[in-house]
Amino acid sequence: MSTNSEAFPILPDKTVRRVGFGAMQLAGPGVFGPPQDRERALGVLRRAVELGIDHIDTSDFYGPWVVNELIAEALHPYPEGLLLATKIGAYRDQHGGWPPLGHPDALKAQVQDNLRRLRREQLDLVYLRHTVDQPGYTFADQVGALVELREQGLVRGIGLSNVSVEQFEQARAITAIAAVQNSYNVVDRRSARLLDRTAELGTAFVPFFPLGSGFAGSSRAREDAVLQRVAEQRGVTQAQVSLAWLLQRSPNILLIPGTGSPEHLADNTAAEQVRLDPGEVAELDAVVAEGSGLEAPL
């Protein structure tokens, strides 16, 4: 187990705090359309920087376009040291769906779109969001497109999202991978093997849905009961317990909890100061969702 407050080198020349901010929830309901309160959304972004957050995760398909435009409006010109990470590989249809858009030419166009809306000449970190293989190109072709963009100076670091261990290794054989972003939290540990592999290599692992299991039934009820008990004993929030458990799970985990609330933003950031004892960690280790592919304890 690691300490919670140390920084981590997400890029060879860039170290970030282990708790950042995921901007997805700043869009409207369903991550679609504008926020209900634009000034509040802008205020959350500015407050994140005031709290010392130096890692913001976004994408042009949040909204779509809405969140990147909010970030640029709130924070440009950007503070020195702020890392912006974005994702490509999908688009939003008129119903708010997330169809894949993975042709190498489309990926290059998405990078240009992110650059324009974020008002950047270079993107710090770009995740390739993998869905399903499509006819006409391969996963290697997709990774190769990002390598080309990095060689052109448009991208600094290449990341992967929603990938298996095998896909991670395939990409690593082509180029250096700066970070992986998969679902992982107290209940959903299907990416545990990939997390352990990235830890071996010193590669950042950035779990999405760090506060939500996405599972229903007895496992979720058990999760809520354990989180509530530990939170009450500690005098902290259940969200802080969830985040602290992740920070102690592995030293290469970087968190990007999302919120549209300045109060929750401050609470989430303060999770760096919560240190769970071995008994509490063991209780949370034993909470595993049905269908997760793992048995307790982890």
- Give the pLDDT confidence of 161-173 residue by residue, as tens digits: 999 999 999 999 9
Q: Which of 62, 78, 127, 184 is the catalytic position?
A: 62
In the chain, the amino acid numbered 179 is A
CB neighbours of residue 50 within 10 Å: 12
Torsion angle, alpha carbons of 43, 44, 50, 56, to 10: -130
Q: What is the pLDDT of residue 88?
A: 98
Mean pLDDT of all residues belonging to the chain: 92
- Give the pLDDT confidence of 214-240 residue by residue, as tens digits: 433 335 666 788 999 999 999 999 999
pTM of the model: 0.93
Q: What is the pLDDT of residue 142?
A: 97
- How do the pLDDT tens digits run along the chain, 298 residues long? 445 768 999 999 999 999 999 999 999 999 999 999 999 999 999 999 999 999 999 999 999 999 999 999 999 999 999 999 999 999 999 999 999 999 999 999 999 999 999 999 999 999 999 977 778 899 999 999 999 999 999 999 999 999 999 999 999 999 999 999 999 999 899 999 999 999 999 999 999 989 874 433 335 666 788 999 999 999 999 999 999 999 999 999 999 999 999 999 999 999 999 999 999 999 999 987 544 555 433 3
Residue 78 bears catalytic tag: no
Q: Are 152 and 112 in contact (CB under 8 A)?
A: no
- Give the pLDDT confidence of 251-298 residue by residue, as tens digits: 999 999 999 999 999 999 999 999 999 999 999 999 875 445 554 333
